[in-house]
Amino acid sequence: MSFTEEPKLTISNSNATEYCLIKVKDTWSRQIGHCEQGHGEGHRSDAKIYESSTGHCVTWTVVSPVVFTYRIVECENLLDANNDTLLFGHIADPEEVQALKRSTNLLRRFVVIDETVNDLYGAQVVQYFESWKVVYKILPLPTTEENKNMMLVTKILEEVHRFGIDRRSEPIIAIGGGVCLDIVGLAASLYRRRTPYIRVPTTLLSYIDASVGAKTGVNFCSCKNKLGSYTPPTAAFLDRSFLRTVPRRHISNGMAEMLKMALMKHKGLFELLEMEGRSLLDFAFQSSSVTEGRGYTDAASLATKVAIVTMLEELAPNLWEDDLDRLVDFGHLISPELEMTVLPELLHGEAVNIDMAFMLYVAQERGFLTEEEVKRIISCMKHLELPVWHQQCSLDLVQKSLSERLKHSGGKMRMPLPTGLGTAEIFNDTDSTTLCQAFKKWCEELGTGH
């Protein structure tokens, strides 16, 4: 999947001279005006340089498009020795893959794996690499929300430096949940300014969320993901068999992000979660129930596929978040503050679901959802064993969270709200009276004792 971030250019002087850049042999040189690809001798860059003079100053403006390509691969039995995806699945060119397989040079891989995942699958990872005669280093780490900090990033970087990797041909592999993927992604973005890495999610939340985007990060100064970068992996390999060993609560946790995409974009996914959600939870998304449609024969495959595709539809055009109006921020206005306040009581998806539940009442108060629709959604949330209210989510916390949102979102609230089942818009005009009335009704209907 290829993403291109178009450069935004503003030149104050309309008399600026435009130069394209041509490489002949090993030297780049400027040429005035538009240069067509293949015109004359040499290779043309997509970058441009503009030169202008104003008063006593000469200004050079550089415009350099960023193009990033990465792959998201759903496959089965990733750790089977007959499956070469983990080693070569990030490479799109079949000839390059065959050349690597024919090479006498040993493959080398540095792996960061969550400690719990290592207990479950570490032996299989070792057996896999040894069957392929790979030179490897496996680093188990306690990648929990409480430990999501720069100390773990530094630990990874120190071990990568000791092992030594080719920063272009030996991607770092992260195997674990969202915290693990985020930490390794940040470390990779820092090592030699950017080293390729591969994500292997082992939880439902990371499967449909953390693995498919570009964001990396760690918590800082008691703020969630305050430090980070936009550095997509070279590939993400998704294998639902890892979910067999995920605790029930963590399956439910991941379903919150799936429900988020259903409420924002896909009524069919919502109806599937209503009908099959409990079965998906019971069987940890291991293809136990049958639902026909979209070329998929079971509810587990269909639900994960729709969640990923709808997520990518929102992420791909805005990978670097130049546009702050993002539907995928639904459930993420209040939840970061709530999650960090009660850490480690709530999992990420649980905090997100509490946020979404409150926002349903805001949407109802504004006339976007009917009372029946709100009750139907809340019923689905409870059916998925997700919390819909928390005593620590006070009106003060709500107001503080929204104030921070306003501060860091260009002076706009940018509040995604459902406008029906599977449709949504972003609003900047929700007043405090509406919020207070929605909060009161939310507490009365879903608070302690309900």
Name the token pair of 166: 């080719």
215 belongs to the catalytic site: yes
Strands (E), 152-276: 172-176, 197-201, 215-220, 223-230, 235-238
Name the token pair of 326: 């993002």
Determine the 3-state secondary structure of 416 from DSSP. Answer: strand
Determine the 3-state secondary structure of 426 from DSSP. Answer: strand
Q: In which element (H, E) is residue 187 found?
A: helix 178-190
Amino acid 237 reads F
Q: In which element (H, E) is residue 86 found?
A: helix 85-88
Asked if the bond preceding 344 is cis, omega within 30° of 0, the reply is yes
13 closest CA partner among 74, 49, 54, 41: 54
Instruction: Give Cβ neighbours of residue 413 (< 8 Å, ≥ 6 apart).
Output: 402, 405, 406, 427, 428, 429, 430
Q: Which of 148, 215, 224, 260 is catalytic?
A: 215
The distance between the two most distant Cα atoms of the chain, rounded to a whole number of Å, is: 77
Q: What backbone phi and psi angles, to 5 degrees, belong to 178?
A: -60, -35
Return the active site residues.
215
